[in-house]
Amino acid sequence: MKITLDTNILVRANQNTSGPSRSLLGLITGSEHILVLSQNLLYELEEVLRYPRIKRLTRLTEGQITQYIGFLSEAAELVDIGPPIPFATPDADDWIVLRTAIHGDVDVLCSLDGHLRRDDLASVYEHYHFNVMTDVELLRLLRGGA
C-alpha cells in the first residue's frame, strides 16, 4: 500500500513520541508498504518542527530535527508534486499534501486535518483513487483490524 502522511501526522511521529502516529510510521517503514512524500512536504515539516511552540512540545533538538528529516528522506519514495491542480482548498499548505498524494499515486492519505476530511473533497479523492484516514484508522487497517 502506498501512503502519504500529512505534516500533522509526521510531527506526531517523531523519535521523541510513542503514540499512534509513531507506531504507524514504524509499521509503514518496517514493511512492504511505501511511504510517499515530497521534498515540499519535508520542507514544510522541517519548518513546522522549528516553530517555538512545536519545539517545546516535541523536545527535539536541531540535530534531532535534521536526523528525522534525513530518515524520512531515505525511508520515503519522494515524488515531484508537479504544477498546481485546480481545486479549492482553504489552506494553502493542504495543496502540498494533496499534490504529494496525487502525484505519488497513493492508496491512502493519512491526516488529522479537518480541511482534508471535508465532504466536498470526496470527489477529488474518488477521482484520484485514494482514501483519507486518521492515524488510528490506518493503523487498525494495517494491523488487519478493519
- CATH number of 12's domain: 3.40.50.1010
Instruction: Quote the CA–CA distance of 31 and 142 in Å, as a whole number.
Output: 10
Residue-wise pLDDT for 50-72, tens only, equals: 999 999 999 999 999 999 999 99
In this prediction, residue 146 has a pLDDT band, given cuts at 50, 70 and 90, of low
Which structural domain, as residue segments, surrounds residue 84?
A: 2-142
Contact 53, 95 (CB under 8 A): no
Q: Hey, is 117 helix, strand or coil?
A: helix
Please count the structural domains in the chain: 1
88 pLDDT higher than 70: no
Instruction: Quote the CA–CA distance of 145 and 110 in Å, as a whole number.
Output: 17
How confident is the model at residue 145, as a pLDDT?
Answer: 67
How confident is the model at residue 65, as a pLDDT?
Answer: 97
Residue-wise pLDDT for 13-33, tens only, equals: 999 998 999 999 999 998 899
In this prediction, residue 93 has a pLDDT band, given cuts at 50, 70 and 90, of low
Burial class (CB in 10 A: 0-12, 13-18, 19+), 63: exposed
Q: Report the pLDDT averaged over residues 74-97.
A: 80
C-alpha torsion angle, residues 53, 111, 135, 21 (rounded to 10): -30
Residue labelled with grid coordinates 491526516: 111
Residues 20-39 as b/e (b if ≥16 CB within 10 A, e otherwise) read bbbbbbeebbeeebbbbbbe
Say which residues have a Cβ less than 8 Å from residue 9's Cβ, sequence separation at least 6: 21, 24, 25, 110, 111, 112, 135
pTM more than 0.75: yes
